[in-house]
Amino acid sequence: MAAFNPKSKNHYRVRSVSLPTRSHPSTIRIEQAVNKLKTWETSSSSFSKADKICLSLSGLKELHEGIEELLALPLSQQALSQHQQDHMVNELVEESVRYIDVCSNARDTVMQMKEGIKGLQSSLRRSKLRELRTETDVASFMCSRKSLQKEISRSLAKLKHVDNKMVPLHLSNSEDDQLSIVLRALTEASLLNISTFSSLLLFLSVPVMKLKPTRWTLVSNFIYKGGLACEGERNNLNELEDVDIALGNLLIDDSCKDDGTERIESAQRKLEALETILESLENGLELLFRHLIRTRVSLLNILSAGTS
């Protein structure tokens, strides 16, 4: 899958909310959430890729909570209703539904992947390495992963479409310009939505390893010619790739060395770790989804009230 580098990770990253010093608590909350998200995005800390994504989802939830408070202010509602024909306002409203779709699809993808892991864990608990059922279940898990790639690609295309339409804001910095404050906050949220969802989808779109059913030979960039992948070769892999390594090791014909017990246990540990990560991602996406809905409903209510 082709890499997608949103503007929010380069051209827009240097921007800040630039909200007034004497602000309502909601604008302070928004600025703090934005700064926290940008710090995580650029951090080279020991956090894993999955941990960073979970933190970003939590940060986005906090950001949208602040935006909900900002949109509840009479000044904000008045400013938006008076400029409901503004191109930027309409674009942000249109974008909001795309983020809801992407978030919902990502949540469904995570849930399906988690169900596949549970089925594979059950198979490994009751099977021995050389039983055909284990091989079949691994292949089934890989096929289900592959089928999810199309939906992930569609979601990435939606994000790319929104990202390509994004233009830098040229608004007043006046403390009295409430429209400027609201649009800056919504634009920052939009950019961070793109960045976080892109990272999540790319994490989930790890290329699925290919299996030759006739001999169950692993054909993968993660298993190197001449032996099994070692720990040193896995340092830069994410948790999904780590599971692929463990499952690939299960299917390599290495019967002369062991009975496969250690490899089965290793695969089970990796699957349990990935299941925990997917559980956290699912919870984060569910909470964020609710706030994305609320933000869009607030915007639509404000704009519809302005026409009545």
Residue written as token pair 């292949």 = 139
The set of residues, in sequence order, having a beta carbon less than 8 Å from that of 45 and lying 6+ positions away, is: none
Q: Do the Cβ atoms of 123 and 134 come closer than 8 Å?
A: yes
SS3 of residue 225 by DSSP? coil
- Asked whether residue 173 is assigned to any structural domain, the reply reads no
Amino acid 172: pLDDT:
52
Task: Report d(CA 62, CA 291) in Å as an integer.
Answer: 9
Could you list the residue range(s) of the whole structural domain that residue 120 is in?
A: 25-165+178-307
The set of residues, in sequence order, having a beta carbon less than 8 Å from that of 174 and lying 6+ positions away, is: 180
Amino acid 7: pLDDT:
57
- Asked whether residue 1 is assigned to any structural domain, the reply reads no
Task: Report d(CA 80, CA 74) in Å as an integer.
Answer: 10
Total domains, the chain? 1
Amino acid 116: pLDDT:
92
Amino acid 224: pLDDT:
39
- Asked whether residue 67 is assigned to any structural domain, the reply reads yes
- pTM value is 0.83
- Asked whether residue 20 is assigned to any structural domain, the reply reads no
Residues (pLDDT < 50) of the chain are 10-17, 21-22, 132, 174-176, 213-233, 256
Q: CB atoms < 10 A from the CB of 121, how many?
A: 15
- Asked whether residue 99 is assigned to any structural domain, the reply reads yes
- Asked whether residue 12 is assigned to any structural domain, the reply reads no
Please measure the distance between the N-terminal and C-terminal CA atoms of the chain and give it in whole angstroms.
47
